[in-house]
Amino acid sequence: MDVVIPALGESVTEATIGQWLKKVGDAVKADEPIVSLETDKVAVEVNAPAAGVLTSLAFKEGDTVTVGAVIATLEAGAAAAAVPAALAPAPAAPAPAAAPAPAPAAAAPAPVASAAPSAYEAIAPAVRVLIETYNLDPASISGTGKDSRLTKGDVLAAIEAGTAKVKGAAAPAPAAAAPAAARTEERVRMTRLRQTIARRLKEAQNTAAMLTTFNDVDMTAVMDARNRYKDAFEKKHGVRLGFMSFFVKACALAAKDVPSVNARIEGDEIVFHNYFDVGVAVSSPGGLVVPILKDANAKSFAEIELEIADFGKRARDGKLKMEEMQGGTFTISNGGVFGSLMSTPIINPPQSGVLGMHRIEDRPVVVKGQIVIRPMMYLALSYDHRLIDGREAVTYLVRIKEALEDPTRLVIDL
């Protein structure tokens, strides 16, 4: 039975073999993942079409494959699934030879060295990608999955808590003993997703006349409203009331006054949209991805929060669908979750605008002639100056600022 590359989404015709999850001779269950593919936008897994044993692999990791290509063969059936069981006793034969081995002390490290790779291979592929992306030592992270295996949540929590150790960080002594060995280089092939991100960002710089304008917003009113209603909101809707829903609603409201921010250039024409499909940038193991929150202008706070929470979870698990990241008329990027104070985000063509959110910090400001401490956030709007004038960009940011500093505007559409 042939294992073929399935359809990967609109306009996606090829992918890269990211990692084989099974090897020749392994028994697999029906619908069990056997290989991880990297496409231009997401990582996807190809599942076994039936239970059986893998008999051959047609490609190696790093190879490019096209939709419909045969990448492996499978001997299906229960009888085939018993083949690995017959192979299992083979490793038992060396067991007696292992008894005299403990005599030399130097032989002890050998099993440890061989055990480490097998333990690492037991980690789920998506989790390994996350570990390799941040160059982490998996032994420094406690697993909460089945059989104490690491999950993406474990890795992300360890990164956020600062308990995850970088590989090599725990071995300063050898580096001191042999400083010359520290001058090393490593070449790692860019993932297909990272190549696409790099290409699209450069295309944006080369095509659009990009400019960024800034403003700041007093988050007191939003924070007060959130603190006042967060418990009742979560109890009723089953999701936390975050800041992003306020920003999505504010951006959609401001786009009514400045429609060019929600438009795009197509040839020598301007295409205006009567809908607001906002891309919400979320972090995934392979890089930043931007799923699209469609018709955000017509959604409630609860619908926005539920959909964003779902995007974030599935991005971390590598389960976002290709079609969920296509389209979009505007983008919101929240660098504040990583501690960014100010940045100039790059627009996502063919969109004409992107709003950058940043961290909230207490700063002295003047209110009615008095210096007071307020939670302030810098906002950055990068826009295509071919379509959006400076006056329109500033007006758009001011409308967002007004809506956030007086959230009642979001309810009464003012």
Q: How many domains, in total, are found in the chain?
A: 3
Catalytic residue among 63, 224, 389, 406: 389
- CATH code: domain of residue 311: 3.30.559.10
Q: Mean pLDDT: which of 94-108, 179-193, 278-292, 306-320 is highest?
A: 306-320
Give the per-residue pLDDT at 84.
44
304 in the same domain as 321: yes
pLDDT score recorded for residue 168:
62
Q: Which has the higher per-residue pLDDT, 13 or 16?
A: 16
Q: Establish if 94 belongs to a structural domain.
A: no
Note if 237 is an active site residue.
Answer: no
CATH code at 69? 2.40.50.100
Task: Confirm whether 103 is domain-assigned.
Answer: no
Q: What is the DSSP string of 197-240?
A: HHHHHHHHHHHS-EEEEEEEEE-HHHHHHHHHHHHHHHHHHSS-
What gap in Å lies between CA 303 and CA 17, rounded to an integer?
A: 36
> Do 249 and 356 fall into the same domain?
yes
Query: Do 202 and 80 share a structural domain?
Result: no
31 vs 293 pLDDT, higher one = 293
Q: What is the pLDDT of residue 207?
A: 81
pLDDT digits over 110-135, tens only?
443 433 445 666 677 667 777 777 77
pLDDT tens digits, one per residue of 373-394? 999 999 999 999 999 999 999 9
What does the pLDDT read at residue 109?
43
Query: What would the mean pLDDT of 3-7 be, rounded to a whole number?
Result: 82
Domain-ending residue, one of 30, 57, 88: 88
Same domain? For 155 and 281 the reply is no
Same domain, 382 and 307: yes
How many beta carbons lie within 10 A of that of residue 14, not counting itself? 15
pLDDT for position 227: 92
Task: Find the mean pLDDT for residues 140-167.
Answer: 75
From 42, 53, 113, select the one nearest 81 (Cα to Cα).
Answer: 53
- At which residue do the structure tokens 């006054």 appear? 257
> Which residue segment(s) compose the domain that 15 sits in?
1-88
Position 96 in a domain: no
Q: How far apart are CA 352 and CA 387, in angstroms?
A: 7
**b/e per residue 58-68 (b: at least 16 CB within 10 A):** ebeeeeebeee
Catalytic residue among 26, 137, 216, 385: 385
pLDDT of residue 2: 83
196-227 pLDDT, tens digit each: 778 877 888 888 889 999 999 999 999 999 99
Residue 173 and residue 219 in one domain: no
| 95 within a domain of the structure (yes/no) | no
Rounded to 5 degrees, what are φ and ψ at 307? Answer: -70, -40
Q: Between 144 and 35, name the one with better pLDDT.
A: 35
Domain identity same for 26 and 135: no
What are 83-92's contacts with CB under 8 Å, separation 24+? 83/25, 83/27, 83/53, 84/25, 84/26, 84/27, 84/53, 85/27, 87/25
Q: Hey, what long-range contacts does 84-88 have (CB within 8 A, 24 or more apart)?
A: 84/25, 84/26, 84/27, 84/53, 85/27, 87/25
Boundary residue ending a domain (88, 117, 138) = 88
Same domain, 147 and 9: no
The pLDDT value recorded for residue 306 is: 94
pLDDT of 114 reads: 38
273 noted as active-site residue: no
For the stretch 68-105, pLDDT in tens is: 888 888 887 744 444 444 444 444 444 444 444 444 44
Percent of the chain beyond pLDDT 90?
Answer: 36
The mean pLDDT value for 393-411 works out to: 93
**pLDDT tens-digit profile of 240-254?**
999 999 999 999 999
Both 169 and 27 in one domain: the answer is no
Tell whether 310 is covered by a domain.
yes
Residue 229 reports pLDDT greater than 70: yes
Task: Copy the structure tokens of residue 125.
Answer: 């592929």
CB contact at 8 A, 355 and 399: no
**Cβ atoms < 10 Å from Cβ of 162:** 7
Mean pLDDT of 313-330: 83
- Do the bridges between strand 353-357 and strand 330-334 make them parallel or antiparallel, or are there none, so unpaired? parallel
Q: Do 363 and 273 share a structural domain?
A: yes
pLDDT digit string, tens, across residues 40-75: 656 677 888 888 888 888 888 878 888 888 888 888
Question: What is the structure's pLDDT at 401?
Answer: 96
Stretch 230-244: mean pLDDT, rounded? 92
pLDDT for residue 55? 85
* 311 within some domain: yes
Alpha-carbon separation of residue 172 from 112, 165, 167 (angstroms): 21, 13, 11
User: How far is it, in rounded angstroms, from Cα 403 to Cα 219?
Assistant: 11
Domain termination residue (choose one: 56, 88, 120): 88
Q: Which residue has the higher pLDDT, 300 or 104?
A: 300
- Give me the residues paired with residue 216 across strands: 378
Q: Tell me the residue type at 172.
A: P
Confirm if 139 and 119 have CB atoms less than 8 A apart: no
Please, are residues 194 and 166 in contact by the beta-carbon 8 Å criterion?
no
245 and 342 co-located in one domain = yes
My answer on whether 273 and 355 are in the same domain is yes
Output the pLDDT for position 281: 81
Q: Would you say residue 97 lies in a domain?
A: no
pLDDT in tens, 323-344: 888 889 999 998 888 888 999 9
Mean pLDDT across the chain: 80
Least reliable range by pLDDT among 96-100, 207-211, 361-365, 367-371:
96-100
CA–CA distances in Å: residue 194 to residues 6, 20, 133, 199, 209: 22, 20, 11, 9, 24
Sequence-separated (6 or more) residues with CB below 8 Å from residue 223:
360, 375
Residues paired with 70 in a beta bridge: 4
Please give the pLDDT value at position 369: 93
Q: How confident is the model at residue 146 (pLDDT cuts 50, 70, 90)?
A: low
